[in-house]
């Protein structure tokens, strides 16, 4: 039976713990935390950043993200999908955000947020899906289980295999 609590999430007023390798923490509010979002096509998150903390390059395969900065200064950006003309390069779109600024990250495109300030930063994101999904690029490529064959990655990144071996040996965190 559906009850009022299925439509309530409490806690976005509380800062996340940014004492980790990335210096950031994401508090998601999607259908996994708030059942009342099921089928509604929306969700949100609170993002906390320590000074120089990062939400590393990632993508949301099922949602566009509208990102509102409420405290601090962030450098944000996204990279376009592969251009139709192979002679062209993917384009990077970036901005510095200040409190009250909103930046939109199109669905499925790789994007990031980096705190360039000497103080903490706080932002809220809204998504056009009750389950936007997150794929953190470095974790997916270098930290998968089982590991992607290093020969495949060495060829793809056009680097020596020992570089891939080194990257795959690192601890890839899933804080965000």
pLDDT at 148 (0 to 100): 97
**Each residue's pLDDT tens digit, 120-145:** 999 999 999 999 999 999 999 999 99
Binding residues for Mn(2+): 58, 60, 65, 111
Q: State pTM to two decimals.
A: 0.94
Q: What is the mean pLDDT of residues 146-165?
A: 97
pLDDT at 142: 95
Q: For residue 175, what pLDDT is reported? A: 60
pLDDT of amino acid 40: 98
Spatial contact of 73 and 130, defined as CB atoms under 8 Å apart: no
What is the pLDDT, as a whole number, of residue 176? Answer: 60
Quick one: pLDDT band at residue 173, thresholds 50, 70, 90? confident
What is the overall mean pLDDT for the chain? 96
Peptide bond into 90 cis (omega under 30): no
In this prediction, residue 118 has a pLDDT band, given cuts at 50, 70 and 90, of very high
pLDDT at 54: 98
pLDDT for 20: 94
Tell me the β-bridge partners of 43: 127
What pLDDT digit, counting tens, does each position of 19-75 carry? 999 999 999 999 999 999 999 999 999 999 999 999 999 999 999 999 999 999 999
Instruction: List domains and CATH numbers for the chain.
Output: 20-133 (2.60.120.10), 141-176 (no CATH)
3-state SS assignment for residue 150: helix
- Specify binding-site residues: 55, 58, 60, 65, 111
Binding-site residue ranges for oxalate:
55, 60, 65
- Tell me what pLDDT residue 171 has: 78
Strand intervals (E) in 50-170:
54-59, 65-71, 74-79, 92-97, 102-105, 111-115, 121-127, 135-136
Token digits of residue 109: 């495109």
């Amino acid at each position: 039976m559906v009850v009022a609590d299925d439509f309530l999430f409490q806690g976005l007023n509380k800062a996340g713990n940014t004492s980790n390798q990335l210096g950031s923490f994401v508090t998601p509010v999607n259908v996994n935390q708030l059942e009342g979002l099921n089928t509604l096509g929306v969700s949100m998150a609170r993002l906390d950043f320590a000074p120089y903390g990062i939400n590393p390059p990632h993508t949301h395969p099922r949602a566009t993200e509208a990102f509102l900065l409420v405290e601090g200064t962030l450098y944000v950006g996204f990279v376009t999908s592969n251009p139709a003309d192979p002679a062209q390069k993917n384009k990077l779109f970036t901005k510095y955000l200040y409190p009250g600024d909103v930046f939109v990250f199109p669905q499925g495109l790789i994007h990031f947020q980096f705190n360039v300030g000497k103080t903490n930063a706080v932002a809220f994101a809204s998504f056009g899906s009750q389950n936007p999904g997150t794929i953190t690029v470095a974790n997916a490529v270098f930290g998968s289980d089982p590991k992607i064959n290093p020969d495949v990655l060495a060829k793809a990144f056009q680097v020596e295999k020992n570089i891939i071996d080194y990257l795959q040996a690192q601890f890839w965190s899933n804080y965000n």
